[in-house]
Structure 1
C-alpha cells in the first residue's frame, strides 16, 4: 500500500484562475489543468530564481518530488502553448501557509480579513458584503 501524499506548502495563491490563447474564444479552446503545486514550482524555480533544493524546502517536499511536479508543469505549459490550449489553475494536494480570501467583485487577494466581510478596495456603494471567497477550502 503506497504512502499517503503529503500536502505541498504554497505561500501565495495565483492572482488569476488561468490563461487563454490570444485570438481563440475561451469556450472554444480546449483546456489543460495546472495544479496549484505545479504553478508554485514554476513560480519558485523560474520567477523567484530559487534552486530546486531551496524550492523543495520551501514547499516541504523532497527535491526529487519537486522535480517531478516541476517537469509535469513545464510539460503542460508547453502543450498549452504549442497546441493553443487554455490553462486552468486549480486543484491538487496543497495547503496555504495562511488563510487567503478573494473578493468576488474586484478579485483582490486578501490574506487577513480582520473580522471584516469586505475587501476594503471596492466602492462603498458596491454590494460586496459577505462576498469574499475562502481559497483554503
Structure 2
C-alpha cells in the first residue's frame, strides 16, 4: 500500500508567477516550471536565511525532503537564468498555512502582513 501524501505547508503564493526574458514567448521549449513548494524553499532558505532544518519545520516535512526540493528549485532557477528560459511558478504538493496563530513560524508572510499597522496611530512600519 502506498504511503499517503504529506502536503508541504506554504505561507503565501508568489506575487508574480512568471519571470524571464522580456522578449521570449512561452512555448514548449522556452520555459521551466517551478512548483510552489520549490518556490517556498527558495524563499525560506535564500531570502529568510532559514537553515534546511528550520525550513523543514516550517513546511512540516523532513529535512531530507527539503534538501531535495531545494536542489530541484535551484537547478530550475539556473536553467532559466543560464539558458534564457521563462520561469513559471505553479502547481506542486502544498497547502497554504493558516497564519501564525495556527503554529506557523517566523517566516510566515501572512503573519507579517497582519502586523503592518503596529503603533497607536495606525501608521505602517
Number of aligned pairs? 100
* Residue aligning to 2:2: 2
Q: 1:44-83 alignment to 2 at 5 Å?
A: 44-83=44-83
The 8 Å contact of residues 24 and 30 in structure 2, kept in 1 or not, is answered as: no
Alignment partners' CA distance in 2, 1:70 and 1:34: 11
The 8 Å contact of residues 20 and 26 in structure 1, kept in 2 or not, is answered as: no
- After superposition, give the CA deviation of every residue in 1:48-84 in whole Å (9 maximum; x if it has no partner): 0001100100000000000000000001111111111
**Structure 2 stretches lacking a partner, 5+ long:** 100-112, 115-125
Q: Of Structure 1 and Structure 2, which has the larger fraction of its residues in strand?
A: 1
Q: Of Structure 1 and Structure 2, which has the larger fraction of its residues in helix?
A: 2
Instruction: Please give the TM-score of this superposition, normalised by the length of structure 2.
Output: 0.73
**Structure 1 stretches lacking a partner, 5+ long:** 100-110, 113-137
* Residue aligning to 1:96: 96
Alignment partners' CA distance in 1, 2:3 and 2:85: 34
* Residue aligning to 1:87: 87
Aligned-CA RMSD value: 2.0
User: Which 4+ runs in 1 deviate beyond 4 A?
Assistant: none
Task: Answer 1 or 2: higher relative contact order, Cα 8 Å, separation at least 6.
Answer: 2
Instruction: Please give the TM-score of this superposition, normalised by the length of structure 1.
Output: 0.67
